[in-house]
Structure 1
Amino acid sequence: MQYRLLLAFLGYLTVLNGRLALAQVPNSLDSVRVYLKTHTVQDTNYVRALNVLGRELHSGADPDYERADSVLKVSEQLAEKLHYGLGLAKAFTNRASIYYLTDQPQLALDYFQKALTTAENHQLPPRFICGALSNVAAALGKLQRYDKVVEMELRSLKLQEKYNVQPRIATTYGGIGNAFRQMRKPQQALPYYQQALRLMKVEKNTRGMSIIENNMGICYDYLERYDQSLKYYKMALKHAEEAKFELLQADILVNIGLTLNLSKRSAEAIPFVEQSLAIGRRQENKASMATAYFNLGRIYEDLKQYKPAEENLKNALALAKEIDHTDKITNYTQALADLYGGMKNFEEAYRFQLEKNRQTDSVKTVRTDAEVQRLVAGYETGKKEAQIKILRQQAQLQKEELRQQRFQRNTFLIGGILLLLLGGAVTAWLLNRARLRRLEDSLKLRKQIAHDLHDEVGSTLSSISLLSGHTNELLRQNRPETAQKMVKKIYTDARQILESIDEIIWTINPGNDSLPRIAMRLQEYAQPLMDSKNIRFSFVTNPSLDLAPISMEVRRGLYLIGKEAVNNLVKYSNATQATIRFDYDKGQIVVLIEDNGRGFSPDQNTGRTGQQSMQQRARELGGELTVQSAPDDGTRIRLVVNG
C-alpha cells in the first residue's frame, strides 16, 4: 500500500514538541526577516532567529529546502562560534528535518545524532533530549531499522517518566507505533497510536492527528477490519483538510480507495483515487501523481478492465522515470509484468520482467512475483517445445521421403537388367546410409534437447511449483519473512531456467557452427565475471579459427569446459591477471586458459575444482585436457580437440 509522507513530518513534529520559547525573537516568517535585517549584533538571539527562519522556510506550504539549508548552515557556524548549545542543537535538528523530508535518511540520521549529542553534552532540558531521541528513531525508521527505532523511543519514554516530562511527547508513542506497523504487528502498534492521538488532541495538533489516524487506518487494513479503516481514514482526511496539508490528503484518498478495493467495492474506490490524482496535478507533484496512477491501474486490473489498467500503470512508470525514483520504477515495472502475465500476454510480461530484473541490484533481492517467473519460464520452455515439434516434423518428412525412395528402388529392380540392378542397389545403399545418418543425427539432437530440458528445466519447474504453493500457505499463515526466503529461491530457480534454455537454444542454432562464435560466447560469459573480481582479462583468438569446421557436440563441449574453467578461476584463484587463447593448428583446436593466482596441487583432490567433469567432457570429445598448477604459481589449463 502506497503512503508517502506518513512518517515525513514526525521529525518536524518532534522539533515543535521540543521547541523552547525564543525570547525577543518573532515567530512569523515576515517578522523574523525584518528582525534579521535590523538586528546587527550576531548574538544568541540572532542564532535563534536564523533557526526560526530556516524552520519556516522548509516546513511551510511552499518549502524552499535549498535556501533553508543555507540559512541553517550560517546558524550552525555562528552557534559553534558562540558555544551556544541550544542554538547548535536546533540548527542540527532543522537541517536533519530537511534531509528527512527530501528522502536522504542517512544524512538525516547523522544530523539528528549530532543534535542529540549536542543536547546531552550541553545538558539541555530533558524534554529537548527526549525529542532528539525520537527524531533519531524517526530517521532509523526510514532506514528500516525497526528494532533500533523501538529501542530509541523506549529510551525516550523512560527519560520522560524519570523527569516527569509533561505533557508526554506524542511522536514518541507514534514512532513506536510506526515501528510495529512496519513490522506487520498492527495489534501492538494500535495502543501506541491511540496514546499519541490522545496527546495530539490535547495539543490541538490537527496535522499530527491526521498522520496518526492515517496510520491507524493502515493497521486496521492489515487486520482486514475495513469498516474501522474507513472510519480512521475519513477522520484523517478531515484533519488534513483543516491543516491544509494537501499532500497528506492525497495519500489518505489513495488509502481510502485501496481499502474500498480490498473490501470488494472497487467501483466506489476509483473516484477517491482520482481526487488524489487531481491534488497531485494541482500541486504539480509528480511523485503524488505517480502513486495515484499506479493505484488506479491496480484497481482497474482487479476489475479486469485491462485497457485503463495498462494506461494508468504506464503513466505511473513514465512519471517515476521522470523523477528518477528507483523504488517506484522497480515496483511499477513489476506491476506491468504482473498485469501482462494475468492477460496471458507472455511476451510483454517477459519483457517487463527482464527490465525489472535489470533494475534490481543483484545483492539486494527485492520483490519478485513467483507467478510471473513461472509464466516467463513457461514462455521460454514453450519456445523450445515449438522447436522440438519442428524437429519431429522434419524427422517425419525424412521418413516419408525414405519410404518413397525405397518404393522407387523396388520399381527399378523390376527392370530385370542385372547391371542396372547392381548399380541401383549400390546407389540406394549409399543414399539410404546418408539419409539414415541424417535421421540418426536428428533423433540424437532431439534426444539431447529432451534430456537437457528434463535435467535443466523439468525438475526446477517442479520445484518452483511446490515452492509457490508453500509460499501461498506461508502468507496465509502471516509468515512474510519465511515467504520472502521462498520467493528468493523461486527467483533464483527461474533465472537458472532462463540461462539454461538460452544455452540450449544457442547450442542447436546452426548459425553458431563456427569456432569464432564459441570464442565470442565464452568471452561474453567471462568478461563480466572477471570485472566483478577486478581481474585484468585478455582474450586472444587466432585468425585461422575461421577455417576450423566444428560439430554441435564439439561446440557444446568446448563451451561447457571453458565455462567451468572460468568459474573455477573467478571463485578460487585470487588472480589479478587472466588470459584465454583460442588457436587452430594442423586440424586441431587448442584452448589455453591461464592465470597468475594462488594455484593448487593438481594431485590433491579438493572436491571443488571440477577437474573430473572437465576431463570427462574432454574424453567424450576425443580430446586431451592438461592442468599445470602449483601453490602460489598460478594455473594453466590446455585443451586440445580434433577439429
Structure 2
Amino acid sequence: MRYSFILVITTLLLNATVATAQSASPIDSLEVYLRTHSPTDSVYVRAMDKVIIEYVFKKADYSRADSLSRQMADVASRIGFWTGLVGAYRNRAIIAQLKADNKQLLLFSQKTLEVAEQHALPPKTIYGSLCNLAVAYDKSGQPEQVLQTALRAIRYQEQHHITPRFPIPHRLIGGALATMGRLQQAIPYYKEAGVIFRELGDKRGIAIFEYQLGDFYRDLKQPAEALRHHRQALALGEALQYELLQFDGLNGIANDLVALNRPAEGFAPARRALAIVQKQKNKLGICTAYTTLGDLYRGQKQYEQAASYFKQAIELANTNGYKDELKKASQHLADLYGEQKDFQQAYVYQLQKNNLVDSAAQVNTNAEVQRLIARYQADKKEAQIRLLQQEKRIQQEEAARSRWQRNALVLGAGLLLLLGVAIGAWLLNRAKVQRLEEALTLRKQIAHDLHDEVGSTLSSISLLSGHTNMLLSQNKPETAQRMVQKIYTDARQILESIDEIIWTINPGNDSLHRVAMRLQEYAQPLMESKNIRFSSDISPRLADVPVPMDIRRNLYLIGKEAINNLIKYSEATEATIRFDHVDGKLAVQIDDNGQGFDPSKPSVRTGQASMQQRAQAMGGTLNVQSAPGKGTQLRLEVSPA
C-alpha cells in the first residue's frame, strides 16, 4: 500500500493534545503573548501549542516548530503539566513524520503513550496516544505492530466508552491487512473508518481518508474508482486551503491516470503537485513528484525525460535516506530500461531495488546459519571431551580391577567385595556410555537435518546463481528475474527449516505445552489465508508435562502434515485443534467440517503413511475417521514418557 504524504495523526489533535479550542487567536498575537509572559503556567503551554500547529500546517516551517516543541516540553515538564508534555511529544512526532524521519516518529509516539499512562491522564488522551502509536508503526512498516496496537486502541475505546469514536484504528487495520496481501479482509475496516469520519464531520479527516481510499482502490487494480476518491480529496483540500492535502490529491490523480493509460492528462496535476512541495521546500514531496512525472513520461514512451526524473528522485532519496522512495524509483527505472531492451542497466537498478528489499532477510538467514553451525561445533567438542574423560575412567577402572584380581587369592573373602565393586562400576560405565551414545545420536540427527533441509537447497541456490549470470550475459532478464525469485524463495525455505531444527533441539521446548503452542502458531495464518474459522483448545495440564526430543519432533511433524492436508484438500470453513493429557497420555485431535474422504480408498492426501509410521515409532496410535461430505477427524494418542 502507498500512504498519504499528510500525517494521518493530525486528525487526533482535538483529542490527544492540549490544543482543544476550535477558534485560535492569530499566530502573531499568540507570539506576542509568548514574548511578553513568563513560562510559568499551563496557559503559556497551551499558547505555545497553538503557535506550533500554525507553523507546521500553515507555514510548513518545521525547524521553528521543532524548536518551539522542545521548549514546550521543557516548560510542561518543569511545571508538572503532563497533558502539555504529551502535546509537545505529539508535535515532535508530527514534525518527524513530515520530515520522513520514521525513527523519531516512533520514538516520540512511544513517549507520548508512556507519559499519558504513567501519569494516569484522561482515557481519551491515552486512547489518542494509542492511535498515534499505531500510526507510527504504520509509517515504520511494521504491520503486525499496527494490528496489535490498533486493536488495543479499539478495545480501550469500548472499555472506557470514549466518544466520539476515532476512525484511525479501523483505517490502520485496513491498511495493515492490505499491506499483508489480505485485501478483501481490509475492506470492512475501511468502510467502518469512512462511517466514523462522516459521523465526526471532520472535513480534514474525511479528505485524508478519501485520498487513502483512492490508493487502496488503485492497489485493487480499480484505477477509475481510485481517481474518483482522489478527486474528492483534492476538492476538500482546496476548500480547506490545505496545501499538503492538495499535493496528495494531485499526485494521486496523476498516478491514477497513468494506471488508466491516460498519461497526457496527468501532467497538469503532477506539475501542480510539484509546485506545491517546491514552494514549501519539502524534499520528500519533491522526490515523490519526480517519480510520478517519470511515470507519466514513460507512459508516453518519452524515455529520456522519464529516466531523467527517475534519476533525480533516486539522487534525492539517496541523499536524504528516503528508502521507500528509493525502492520505488529504482524499480521504475529498471522497468523503463527493460522496455528499451537495455538489459544491462535494467539489471543494475533491479539489483539495487532487490538489495534494499532482501538485505535484512539475507542478514537474518546468514546469522541463523552461523549460529547453528557454531552451536553444532560446540556440541561436537563437548562430546569429544566427554568421550576422552570416559576412556580415561575406563582405563582407570580396568587397572583397579586388575590389581584386585592379582590379589584375589590372598584376599579371599574380599573377592565378593571386589565383584560387587566391579559390577557397580560396569553398570555406571554402561549408563555413561549410553548417555554418550545419545549425544552422538543427537549430533547425527543435527547433521542429517542440515544435510536434508539445508544442503540440497544451498546446492540449488549455487546452481541457480551460476545460471542467472549466464542468462544475464545472454540478455535474458525475464528468465533471470525468475531465477532470482527462485533463489529468494529457496533462501526463505532454508531459514524456515533451520528455525524448525533449532526449535526441535532446544531443551527449553521439552514440554507438551510448547508443542501445542508451536502447532497453533503454525496453523493460525494458514487457516486465515483460506478464510477457515479456526479455534484451538490447549489443556492447562500440558504445561508441566515433559517430553523427549524425538517424540516432540514426531508430534510436531504429524500435526504439521495434518494441518497442511486440511488446508490443501478439505475445503473446510471451520477447524479445531484440541490438546489434552488424560490418564498419562497426550491426545491431539484435529477436526474439520470439510468435504471428507473415504479412508479405505487411495487418497490424494499425501503423507498419511508417513504419519502412521511416526505414530508407531513413538509407540502411539493414529486414528483417522472421515466420510464423503462429513468432514474429517484425526486423533493421535501417545505416552509422552
What residue number does 1:123 align with? 120
Displacement after TM superposition at 1:86 (Å): 1.6
Which of 228, 231, 256 matches 1:231?
Answer: 228
CA pair 220-487 structure 1, distance change in 2 beyond 3 A: farther
**How do 1:87-166 residues align onto structure 2 when only pairs under 5 Å count?**
87-166=84-163
Is 1:204 the counterpart of 2:215? The answer is: no
What's the CA shift for 1:134?
0.4
Matched, 1:254 2:248: no
Aligned to 1:338: 335
The TM-score with structure 2 as length reference comes to: 0.53
2:65 is the alignment partner of 1:68: yes
Deviation, structure 1 residue 130? 0.5
Distance 1:225 1:358 in 2: 30
- Are 2:33 and 1:42 equivalent residues in the alignment? no
Q: In the alignment, which of 27, 30, 34 is matched to residue 29 of structure 1?
A: 27
Work out whether 1:488 is the aligned partner of 2:488: yes
Q: Does the residue aligned with 1:123 lie in a helix, a strand or coil?
A: coil
Tell me, what secondary structure is at the counterpart of 1:63? coil
The code of the aligned residue for 1:336 comes to: L
Find the counterpart in structure 1 of residue 11 from structure 2.
Answer: 13
Q: Which amino acid aligns with 2:155?
A: K
Distance 1:102 1:285 in 2: 8
Give the conservation status (yes or no) of the 8 Å contact 1:25–1:48. Answer: no
Change (3 A) 1:126 1:355: closer
Query: How far off its partner does 1:190 sit?
Result: 3.2
Q: Is the 8 A contact 2:18 2:46 kept in 1?
A: no
Q: CA RMSD in A?
A: 4.0
The unaligned stretches of length 5 or more in structure 2 are 364-461, 493-641
Alpha-carbon distance in structure 2 between the residues aligned to 1:37 and 1:459: 67
Is 1:52 aligned with 2:62? no
Paired with 1:455 and 1:311, the residues of 2 have a C-alpha distance of 34
CA 1:61–1:465: 2 relative to 1, 3 Å:
same
DSSP-derived class of the 1:124 partner? coil
1:68-91 CA-partner distances (Å, limit 9, x unpaired):
222222222232222222222222
Other-structure match for 1:176: 173
User: Which residue in the other structure is 1:328 paired with?
Assistant: 325
1:233-260 deviation per Cα after TM superposition (whole angstroms, max 9, x unaligned): 1111111112222233233223223223
What are the within-5 Å matches in structure 2 for residues 568-583 of structure 1? none
Matches within 5 A, 1:252-401: 252-320=249-317, 323=320, 325-349=322-346, 352=349, 362-363=359-360
- Tell me the distance in 2 between the aligned counterparts of 1:231 and 1:208: 17
* Residues 157, 467 of structure 1: alpha-carbon distance in 2 compared, 3 angstrom cutoff: farther
- AA aligned to 1:265 is R
Secondary structure class of the residue paired with 2:137: helix
Matched residue type, 2:122: P
Asked whether the equivalents of residues 25 and 35 of structure 1 are also in contact (C-alpha less than 8 Å), the reply is no
Structure-2 change in CA distance of 1:282 and 1:96 (3 Å): closer
Contact residue 184 and residue 222 of structure 1 kept, 8 A: no
SS of residue in 1 equivalent to 2:165: coil
Partners of 1:56 and 1:140 lie apart in 2 by: 26
SS at match of 2:44: helix
Q: CA separation of 1:458/1:80 partners in 2, compared to 1, >3 Å: closer, same or farther?
A: closer
CA contact (8 A) 1:47 1:78 kept: yes
CA contact (8 A) 1:186 1:220 kept: no
Structure 1 Cα separation of the partners of residues 342 and 73 of structure 2: 58
Give the aligned residue type for 2:76: A
What do the CA deviations read for 1:117-151 (whole angstroms, capped 9, x no partner)?
22122222111110000011111111111111121
CA distance in 2, matches of 1:10, 1:85: 24
Partner amino acid for 2:238?
E
Structure 2 residue aligned with 1:222: 219
Aligned pairs, number: 393
Alpha-carbon distance between aligned partners in 2 of 1:456 and 1:181, rounded to the nearest angstrom: 32
**Does the CA-based 8 Å contact 2:287-2:317 persist in structure 1?**
yes
2:191 corresponds, among 194, 198, 204, to: 194
Question: How has the CA–CA distance of structure 1 residues 116 and 201 changed in structure 2, closer, same or farther, with 3 Å as cutoff?
Answer: same
AA in 2 matched with 1:191: P
C-alpha displacement at 1:469, in angstroms? 7.2
Return closer, same or farther for 1:283/1:100 CA change in 2, 3 Å cut-off: closer
2:310 and 2:332 in contact (8 A); partners too: yes
Amino acid at match of 2:225: Q
Q: Is the 8 A contact 1:293 1:313 kept in 2?
A: yes
User: What is the identity percentage for the equivalent residue pairs of Structure 1 and Structure 2?
Assistant: 33
Matches within 5 A, 1:468-479: none
Native 8 Å contact 1:190 1:219 kept in 2: no
Q: Distance in 1 between matches of 2:34 and 2:213?
A: 42
Q: Deviations over 1:353-385 (max 9, x none)?
A: 67768888844679xxxxxxxxxxxxxxxxxxx
Give the distance between the partners of 2:478 and 2:284, measured in 1 at CA: 33
Q: Distance in 1 between matches of 2:16 and 2:84?
A: 13
User: Computing the radius of gyration over CA atoms, which structure comes out larger, 1 or 2?
Assistant: 1
1:290–1:316 CA contact under 8 A, matched in 2:
yes
Q: Distance in 1 between matches of 2:269 and 2:53?
A: 33
Q: Which residue among 223, 237, 241 is the counterpart of 1:240?
A: 237
Q: Deviations over 1:400-439 (max 9, x none)?
A: xxxxxxxxxxxxxxxxxxxxxxxxxxxxxxxxxxxxxxxx
Residues 342 and 487 of structure 1, relative CA distance in 2, 3 Å threshold: farther
**Contact 1:297–1:310 (8 Å) recurs in 2:** yes
Cα 1:486–1:254 change in 2 (3 A) is farther
Give the letter for the 1:47 counterpart: V
The structure-2 alpha-carbon separation of the partners of 1:95 and 1:329, relative to structure 1 and needing over 3 Å to count, comes to: closer
- Normalised TM-score (structure 1): 0.53
